[in-house]
Amino acid sequence: MCNTATNFRSGVKTLEFMRFLSGFIAVLLVIATACGAAGFWIWNELNEPFAHNRPDALVTISRGASSEQIIATLKANGIIREELPLKLYLRLQRGTSTMKAGDYRFASPMSPIQVLKELEKGGTEHERITVPEGWTKFEIARALVAIPSLKLKSESEALRLLDDPSPIKDIDPWATSLEGYLFPDTYFVQADSTAKGLVLQMVNRFRKVYDEKLAADVKASKVPLHNIVTTASIIETEAKLDSERPIVASVIYNRIAKGMRLSMDSTIVYASKLAGKWRYDGKVYQSDLDRKSPYNSRIYKGLPPGPVGSPGLVSLKAALHPATTNFLYYVRNPDRQDGAHNYYSSAAAFDKGVEALRNWEKVQRQKGLR
């Protein structure tokens, strides 16, 4: 009797297991069928040519755009029908696909895989503008006008954009223009770029560098950012070697502390540029030295009213962290050809340094006449 009951229960359990197994297999078959169908749909979407109606449209892929942003741009421009298949494909590729920035025209019909191959080859190279360290808004305006796609009619029109300080008023309420906040870098000009947008890129680049690498130190210094950027802009032009920038910073601060005029050429040149009198031949004339401008540090004490160019990160850091010296003067070192200076604490020693430089320049001129 017991064996019969046991066998019965065992049979029931076996039957239940078989039912469970059948159900589980059925579920697996459904999942497999669904996966197969999904896989076929994805494969079909990736490889089937899609007839869009924008074969002549210029599609701009921005530098630094993520794969998801690029796919969204393609969808927004009607070049692909669905985003998901391309997203899944790229995820499976795990970064082996390198899509390049540029301007593109996509033929019609074209499959998403064909579109991806075009992006990997690269489109039309963007125009670019490179802002070197030390450039003023005047050089930047000239460079902007030289880019036809920006459609600027004159340097005056470009300068009106650069003279609007509103994009930086929150971090520098004393600013009267964007001078000093147009960060040195290379900027790419895309098909849809505008002059105003490009200027904002330069400002935003400054803000990014400021937020990531300078803001904490500026706050700790308790010195207004306006003064830091102004000082850095002078350092940028006066020092040719990165290693000397903190030393030049110390000379600036030492002279101000003693109530001395800075008497630095970079401020005199800027005063002449503001007046429209700079000759762009690299020479400082007596008329430049005599110019009655608050930027002329041979006449007026202290820092000029604002930056005199675009400082790079090294100069900005030097303005925040000057070397500890008692130097008040410097003059080019005639024994070196890399832009190095000799530094002095007394006027008498400085005068001897100037004399040595003048003698060296005289010899060089004589050699040139031979």
Residues 361, 318 share a domain: no
In sequence order, the 6+-apart residues with CB closer than 8 A to the CB of 325 are 247, 250, 251, 254, 343
Is 36 a domain residue? Answer: no
Q: Which residues pair with 85 in a beta bridge?
A: none
Residues 315, 192 share a domain: yes
Residues 80, 225 share a domain: no
Residues 303, 181 share a domain: yes
Tally of CB atoms within 10 A around 45: 20
Domain finish residue from 104, 121, 138 = 121
Residues 140, 117 share a domain: no
Count of structural domains, the chain: 3
Domain finish residue from 69, 102, 121 = 121
Residues 212, 86 share a domain: no
Residues 286, 215 share a domain: yes
Is 316 a domain residue? Answer: yes
Strands 329-332, 341-344: pairing kind: antiparallel
Give me the pLDDT at residue 370, please. 39
- Chain segment 187-230, per-residue pLDDT in tens: 988 877 899 999 999 999 999 999 999 999 999 999 999 999 99
Strands 329-332, 186-189: pairing kind: unpaired
Residues 362, 313 share a domain: no
Q: How many CA atoms lie within 13 A of 20 on its CB side?
A: 6
Is 335 a domain residue? Answer: yes
Residues 317, 334 share a domain: no
For residue 73, give the CATH number of its domain: 3.30.1490
pTM of the full structure: 0.74
Is 11 a domain residue? Answer: no
Is 40 a domain residue? Answer: no
How confident is the prediction along the chain (370 residues), in pLDDT tens digits per residue?
555 555 555 555 565 656 655 655 655 555 655 555 556 667 787 888 988 888 877 788 877 788 889 999 999 999 998 888 888 888 887 766 788 888 888 988 989 989 889 888 887 767 889 999 999 999 999 999 999 989 999 999 999 999 999 999 999 999 999 999 999 999 988 877 899 999 999 999 999 999 999 999 999 999 999 999 999 999 999 999 999 999 999 999 999 999 999 999 999 999 999 999 999 888 899 999 999 999 999 999 999 999 999 999 999 999 999 999 999 999 999 999 899 999 999 999 999 999 999 999 888 888 874 3
Q: Is 129 within 8 Å of 144 (Cβ atoms)?
A: yes
- Chain segment 31-85, per-residue pLDDT in tens: 655 555 556 667 787 888 988 888 877 788 877 788 889 999 999 999 998 888 8
Is 8 a domain residue? Answer: no
Distances 219 to 196, 210, 312, 338 between C-alpha atoms, Å: 30, 11, 19, 35
State which H helix or E strand residue 230 sits in: helix 225-238
In sequence order, the 6+-apart residues with CB closer than 8 A to the CB of 208 are none
Is 211 a domain residue? Answer: yes
Domain that holds residue 336: 329-370
